[in-house]
A and B are shown apart, each in its own frame.
Chain A
Amino acid sequence: MEYFIQQLVNGLTLGSIYGLIAIGYTMVYGIIGMINFAHGDIFMLGGFAALIIFLVLTSVFVGLPTVLLLLLMMAAAMLTAALWNWTIEKVAYRPLRGSFRLAPLITAIGMSITLSNFVQVTQGPRNKPIPPLVSSVYNVFGISISLKQIVIVVLTTVLLTVFWYVVNKTALGRAQRATEQDRKMAALLGIDVDRTISITFIMGAGLAAVAGTMYLMYYGVVVFTDGFIPGVKAFTAAVLGGIGSLPGAVIGGLLIGLIESLWSAYFTIDYKDVATFSILAIVLIFKPSGIFGRPEVEKV
Chain B
Amino acid sequence: MAPEMNTMKNDPILKVEHLSMRFGGLMAINDFSFEAQRGEITALIGPNGAGKTTVFNCVTGFYKPTMGMISMTQKSGKTFLLERMADFEITKDARVARTFQNIRLFTGLTVLENLLVAQHNTLMRASGYTFLGLFGLPAYKKAEAESIELARHWLEKADLTDRADDPAGDLPYGAQRRLEIARAMCTEPEFLCLDEPAAGLNPRESLALNTLLTGIRRETGTSILLIEHDMSVVMEISDHVVVLEYGQKISDGTPDHVKNDPKVIAAYLGVEDEEVEEVIEEIEEIEEEGKH
Interface residues of A (CB under 8 A from B): 162, 165-166, 170-172, 174-175, 177-178, 181-182, 184-193
Contacts and interface: CB of A to CB of B under 8 A. Distances in A.
Nearest to A191: B120
Interface stretch (B34-42, B105-113, B205-213, B214-222): B105-113
The 7 closest A-B pairs by CB, nearest first: A171-B123, A190-B91, A190-B92, A172-B130, A187-B88, A178-B117, A185-B104
Contacts of B100: 185
B187 A189 contact: yes
Of listed B62, B97, B107, B124, residue having the most chain A CB within 10 A: B124
12 contacts: A166-B130, A171-B123, A172-B127, A174-B120, A177-B108, A177-B113, A185-B104, A187-B88, A188-B97, A189-B120, A189-B183, A190-B118
A174 B92 contact: no
B133 interface: yes
Interface of A is mostly: helix
Of listed A165, A187, A189, residue having the most chain B CB within 10 A: A189
A49 B107 CA distance: 41
A66 B174 CA distance: 61
Contact of B130 (A171, A187, A189, A190): A171
Interface in B86-129: 87-88, 90-92, 97-98, 100, 104, 106-109, 113, 116-121, 123-124, 127, 129
B134 interface: yes
A190 B106 contact: no
A171 B134 CA distance: 11
Contacts of A185: 100, 104, 106
Contacts of B60: 188
Contacts of A172: 124, 127, 129-130
Interface string B61-93: 110000000000000000000000001101110
A188 B106 contact: no
B109 A188 contact: no
A187 B60 CA distance: 11
Given A171-B116, A182-B104, A188 B124 contact: no
A96 B117 CA distance: 27
A187 B104 CA distance: 12
Contact of B124 (A162, A171, A184, A187): A171
Given A166-B130, A190-B121, A191-B120, A174 B113 contact: yes
Contacts of B117: 174-175, 178, 186, 189, 191
Given A185-B106, A188-B98, A190-B91, A165 B124 contact: no
A84 to B, nearest CB: 20
Contacts of B118: 189-190
